[in-house]
């Protein structure tokens, strides 16, 4: 790579050749969030046996205490399937 100064202008040569060695690894494309069917079933069972209008956070933590994100996805799947309803206060109940 060389630089050559001509007046107030810089010319740089050989950059592409030097950067060619730094090929980027392909970035994996994340698939749509996967839902653990076992957790969805567990959440459905909890909604069936627990008193109505439980806090969503409570159900999520019971479904997946070590990974709340997985619990959130399970509850989202129940809502998407019209099995559960969430109200504006964050309480969730089984759809009738």
* Tens digits of residue pLDDT in 42-62: 999 999 999 988 999 999 999
Question: Residue 3: its pLDDT value, please?
Answer: 57
- pTM beyond 0.85: the answer is no
Question: Residue 16: its pLDDT value, please?
Answer: 74
Cβ 89 vs Cβ 54: under 8 Å: no
Mean pLDDT of the chain: 83
Cα gap 60→50, rounded to integer Å: 13
Cβ 48 vs Cβ 36: under 8 Å: no
Question: Residue 28: its pLDDT value, please?
Answer: 58
Cβ 94 vs Cβ 53: under 8 Å: no
Cα gap 93→56, rounded to integer Å: 9
* Tens digits of residue pLDDT in 6-47: 567 777 788 777 777 766 666 555 455 688 899 999 999 999
| Domains in the chain: ranges and CATH | 37-94 (1.10.10)
Cα gap 54→48, rounded to integer Å: 11
């Amino acid at each position: 790579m060389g630089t050559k100064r001509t007046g107030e202008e810089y010319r740089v040569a050989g950059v592409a050749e030097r950067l060619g060695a730094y090929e980027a690894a392909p970035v994996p494309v994340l698939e749509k969030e996967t839902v653990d069917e076992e957790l969805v079933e567990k959440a459905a069972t909890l909604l069936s046996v627990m008193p109505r209008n439980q806090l969503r956070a409570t159900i999520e933590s019971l479904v997946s205490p070590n990974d709340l994100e997985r619990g959130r996805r399970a509850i989202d799947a129940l809502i998407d399937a019209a099995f559960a309803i969430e109200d504006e206060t964050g309480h969730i109940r089984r759809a009738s």
